[in-house]
Amino acid sequence: MTRKAAAGWPGTFGLIAALVGFGVIRANRAISSIDLYPIGSVAIICGLIALTAASWKARTSSGWLPLMFTASLIFGIVASAVPEARVLFVVAGATFGIAFGCVGWTLLAGDLVC
């Protein structure tokens, strides 16, 4: 079974949501005069949570990947809501980067190395 077939509709939805989020962020100034980065970033991370959760359920990726993306989302929301917790933006970004890199490594290596 291919990774695409294993991920199913939840994985497809997650991929589409992440791609739309990337598109919103890239076209931010052309689409609107207001900052759409928060909307785009939430779409990306929710899409990646859905994609990695579906992939984990199909046993094609590690279970900690959706947890890392969820932690990154929570850190980002707390950093946005609490002015004293701005350092959590860095933590959210680092958590996202590590998880995103491991998704790429898992796809590249073809097995559960991350």
Domain boundaries, the chain: 3-109
Nearest to 56 by CA among 4, 2, 6, 5: 6
Task: Taking residues 90-109, report their average pLDDT.
Answer: 89
Instruction: Assess contact for 14 and 54: CB atoms under 8 A.
Output: yes
| Interval 69-79: pLDDT, tens | 999 999 999 99
pLDDT band per the 50, 70, 90 thresholds, residue 68: very high
Look up the pTM and report it: 0.83
